[in-house]
A and B are shown apart, each in its own frame.
Chain A
Amino acid sequence: MEKKRIFRLFFAWQDEKEQAWLEQMAAHGWILDEVGFIQYTFRKEQPQAIRYRLDYQDVKQNELQEYLLLFADAGWEYIGRLNNWFYFAAKESTAVEIYTDAHSKVAKYKRVMRTLLVASFPLVYYLVFYFRSFAARGSSVPFLMMSLIQFLLFIVWLILMINIVRIWAKVQKIEKGM
């Protein structure tokens, strides 16, 4: 069976764009087979109208089966998982959307925001802490290397913040439509 691997990066707030892309691939006969970090594996089949949906859940191991079974019963086939992102596909056009009210849709995005926020705390702490000792020039580590590490961490923190802000904007948009 013909397979193809594509490397592509989607940020947390681009889940709808990612879904649309996967659907487009399926429309051209490339069906999502596996999901990995920044990489997607597709298998070649007939062009199909498949809907893809990404869910975000903080699901415990013992709750996993219940969660996946419920979705399967509702017509959503489980494709794969990336951290807490779950990928589902529906072949039948009759399968009901995963989220059918604004409240639960917002709840999903808030779960994402919470995780990103929590991830950003140690970064902030590190950056602030090192900025202070850095300013005191007490470190024996070469100046340039410290700067580089700090710079990279700052970029990571910035990316996290942008993600949080854009997801927050999404939440606002959904709530306005409420």
Chain B
Amino acid sequence: MNKSKNAEDLLPLTETSFYILISLMEPLHGYGILKKIEEMTHGRILMGAGTLYGALKNLVENGLIVEVESDSERRRNYQITETGRAQVTREVDRYEELLVNARREIEK
């Protein structure tokens, strides 16, 4: 497991931010993100507009997502950045290790 720390090694993402990131592999607008997350989690995560708005601002500030050109002049589209992809990959590795360990210990 790669233990090296680099400047982009941000703290573990919250579930909210994590789901927003993986929703933005392709460009999507705010409300689209809410609907996509609802779909992906089968209705378990119904995110509030205020919660999303704040999370989007943070993610943009941290360079994990970026605003991209959208066909609608009114609604902005967002997309994950390379930095964001790297962070997601790191997190997925972390969760895979976590799952393996958890399943094994629970089975005992």
Contacts and interface: CB of A to CB of B under 8 A. Distances in A.
B41 interface: no
Interface in B27-65: 30-31, 34, 46-55
Which range holds the interface residue count of chain A?
20 to 34
Majority secondary structure of chain B interface residues (helix, strand, loop or mixed): helix
B14 interface: yes
A69 B16 CA distance: 20
A74 B75 CA distance: 13
Contacts of A69: 30, 74-75
Nearest to A66: B76
Given A96-B47, A96-B48, A104-B51, A74 B34 contact: yes
Nearest to B35: A73
Contact of B50 (A65, A66, A73, A99): A99
Contacts of B30: 66, 69-70, 73
Interface of A: 55, 57, 65-67, 69-71, 73-74, 76, 96-101, 103-104, 107-108
Interface of B: 14, 16, 30-31, 34, 46-55, 74-76
